Structure 1
Amino acid sequence: MIQFPHLQKGQTIGVTAPSSGVQPSLHDMFQLSCERMKHRGYDVICGETVWQQEKAKSAPAIERANELQYMMTCEEIDHIIPPWGGQLLMEVLEHLDFSSMQKKWILGYSDTSALLLALTLKTGIATAHGPNLVDLQGEELDQT
């Protein structure tokens, strides 16, 4: 049975980059996305992979997998939204332990779709094909 986590103000969003990270020239733009989410009433915890980008990925596959695994098992993090997609998320999947992951909402699109599909099929946790964190930097969000 599919299980649907709910995003509510006061909860914590974990941001990890299982595919592409944010290159230094875009850190200010990404920081704005985090600040806007905090202003909307959410706590935001960013992993180390978010702030890195080299050769089409944020970090080696095992580092990306370990950070995602940590966020999926950490009691303090309620939901996960990557900064954006990329190209090499597929490298991470073989390193994940889906059986130990908690029921958390993961939101994203592009390369993140590979993770969303694998997580839902292996755990029954619903995921959402929708905006990545960078897409949420506007002053206002639409109702969807």
Structure 2
Amino acid sequence: MRWIHRRRGKIGDAPGQRAGATATEFAIVLPMFLLLVFACCDFARVIQFRQLVANAARVGATRAALNRFTEATEADWRSDVVDVMREELSNLASVDPADSVIGVSFRELPSGVRVVETEVTVPFRTVVQWPALPKEIQVHHHAEFHQFR
């Protein structure tokens, strides 16, 4: 008779008591686990988003630094740089190109070297509305290179 009690659990436990405890523990742990999973997903997304925005600014600054321009070709130069940055931002599936703010400028140093600057600002929207955190943040990156040649 002793082996029967060992298979059921402790002597005195009701047959479904352990299953009820497991269900209660699961009901307590599941919301915390899901919160952790969604927080990790949003954190990973914002890191990836930030990296792609930085890449777009650097790609634009590289293109701007490699191509010289004159007063007559400045508009085409700006257009080319902006197109390259928009193409890089197209790797972000969740980005509407109309939402992005792209800037291209340059300045002359006293030594005669031209420094080109690019700026990209794109809104990032979280998957979950987190308490005390905004639903949307502006991801911004600024890059500048000395113009070559």
TM-score (norm 2): 0.24
Structure number with the bigger relative contact order (C-alpha 8 A, sep ≥ 6) is 1
> Which has the larger share of helix?
2
TM-score (norm 1): 0.25
> Which has the larger share of strand?
2
